[in-house]
Structure 1
């Protein structure tokens, strides 16, 4: 028993072996593409963190990934799956673009606050109905939230192709939002205040999780509904509230994208930010601080892959393969550790 505990203590996360295996697997994929792995890794790093500009581009990419991951994590604490981050983000983004071209208070800060609040509310409302179906009718939220993504994708595509299409554009998109809706860049830095907003949100959620009774209640509900009910916790309220918060965060991510980056909504607005956020949440175990680090890695892969494609024969799309390999090894690592712990428990 003592030996097994000692072995387990050397594999708290298996991080060194974990990283080596991931890099080795990535290298095999690169070799199959006919390139030198060291060359590819160099250009990947150069394009993501090699200069202030590329580093800030990676940090900007993190904004939406952090929020869409949190949109999955918070419902996850309460034992409910929010797979609808993609649809909630799209609705939040369209809401921001629509409000930007429809309303102007002539006060930039007020414009931004109203628009981001509206995006969050729209995202929350789209997460509300799957939560109600889950709590009161026991309808599987994975099915309803996933189905909701496709509904929103087709709906927003219709809106931007027909009633809200900018007639001056050859590509289906809305008009650009006015400049007093645009979130500015931080002085002397090539990064907008959207990054600070996402970090503040993440830190606040981590503080609530660790320091406040509501964070404790969410974790209790996620671990044991029966125990939570016996302890007097309103489980149904926790589940519904967690989905509302998750939807609001995904909607906020869409609003930040429009106000801080694209300044418009167009067909094909999201390349799958909601699904990437889901992967990040799963890898992080729904914990906010790990989400920050993993979102940075995913952002670096997405930003650096463009530079990698320019200087090598490896296409930028291979970053998706790298992300899939990362997810595979995280899952394998957790299964291995779970089996080790079960074996220790069985043998007393």
Structure 2
């Protein structure tokens, strides 16, 4: 029985991987057609994107840098999605986390790095969690749509940070809308003489912890049950409303943590409009990664690599980096088609292949029995 279940899972994973690879290949093909229509050589463009993303040690480091905030915001969306919630507010939560983390870094008295940096990271998480908790409380208490509320709070957060860096936290004597430089004790150390910092490894560790939490704990089972069928989870006696509130807080906290990681690892100060849309792009990362914590790692690396490679393509060919965003959009649309339109075909294919394996296994067992007789 165990062997049959293992075989069925292996077949399902194989089919899913093949369809995923086919989806990426078709998206790249569509992107090549668009490049050709724009007068850009697809072969040269893809070569340059690859070289800019993974053609050298420096390119790989830059890819990891660009993937770090995308992984945090992708995990934020994925965690809420597993509970049946749609957190479109990672952008605002990212800003709030950056602000509260920067406040802890700038306003606390001098502390050793082993104390100051974790405190600033924790404050970043708390800032995002509080912003996400507002949405969770409205959802649980009043039944308000989390989609509408998160979108509105995005704007509130962005303009709040714009006010903060032009008045209370503005750098003394400075003319730009930014805070003073963060103290060295609250900055994430950089690695290998590059922009790569320890925040990337923190993001990987967070993804692993989330996978363990969702798949190896009772609370994770309750979360996934509510995501699959909220009414059934309530009938089973799970505290669905409490879990929804907590999930929105943790989801917001993940984005907030990513916000402080970005400014502590790259900008080293809180700046107006420091995010080019990490929160919104995190939704794409989550969709491409199947809203799975480990899958998000791969999709964040893919998107980070494409962004890093887009810069190299623009420098050599003069083509706009918008072409890369077009390819990303096509990938998302193809992935949605793969997920919702081809789901029945994939299930039928898995069932057919599984039956074939069982028949083959039974025939082999009978042959071995005849030989022994």
Q: TM-score, normalised by structure 2?
A: 0.85
Write the deviation string for residues 36-55 of structure 1: whole angstroms up to 9, x where unpaired: 11111111111111111110
Counterparts of residues 259-278 of structure 1 (less than 5 Å)? 259-278=264-283
Write the deviation string for residues 125-177 of structure 1: whole angstroms up to 9, x where unpaired: 01111111111211111000111001111111122123322254443111111
Write the deviation string for residues 68-94 of structure 1: whole angstroms up to 9, x where unpaired: 111111111111111110000001112
Measure, in 2, the Cα distance between the counterparts of 1:136 and 1:66: 30
Matched, 1:305 2:310: yes
Q: Determine which structure has more spread, i.e. the larger CA radius of gyration.
A: 2
Matched, 1:165 2:167: no
Counterparts of residues 1-348 of structure 1 (less than 5 Å)? 14-186=19-191, 191-340=196-345
Measure, in 2, the Cα distance between the counterparts of 1:317 and 1:171: 28
Measure, in 1, the Cα distance between the counterparts of 2:15 and 2:325: 31
SS of the residue corresponding to residue 222 of structure 1 reads helix
Measure, in 1, the Cα distance between the counterparts of 2:247 and 2:138: 14
Cα pair 2:210 2:293 within 8 Å, conserved: yes
Structure 1 stretch displaced more, 271-280 or 188-197: 188-197
Structure 1 stretch displaced more, 36-45 or 281-290: 281-290
Give the Å deviation of 1:325. Answer: 1.0
Cα pair 1:88 1:250 within 8 Å, conserved: yes
Cα pair 1:280 1:295 within 8 Å, conserved: yes
Number of paired residues? 338
What is the aligned-residue RMSD (CA, Å)? 2.1
Measure, in 1, the Cα distance between the counterparts of 2:346 and 2:19: 14
C-alpha spacing 1:48/1:154, structure 2 compared with 1 (3 Å) = same
Structure 1 stretch displaced more, 112-121 or 102-111: 102-111
Give the Å deviation of 1:17. Answer: 2.9
Q: TM-score, normalised by structure 1?
A: 0.91
Write the deviation string for residues 228-262 of structure 1: whole angstroms up to 9, x where unpaired: 11211100111111101101101100111111111
C-alpha spacing 1:126/1:191, structure 2 compared with 1 (3 Å) = same
Consecutive unaligned residues of structure 1, counting only runs of 5 or more, are 1-5
Structure 1 stretch displaced more, 172-181 or 288-297: 172-181
Consecutive unaligned residues of structure 2, counting only runs of 5 or more, are 1-10, 350-373
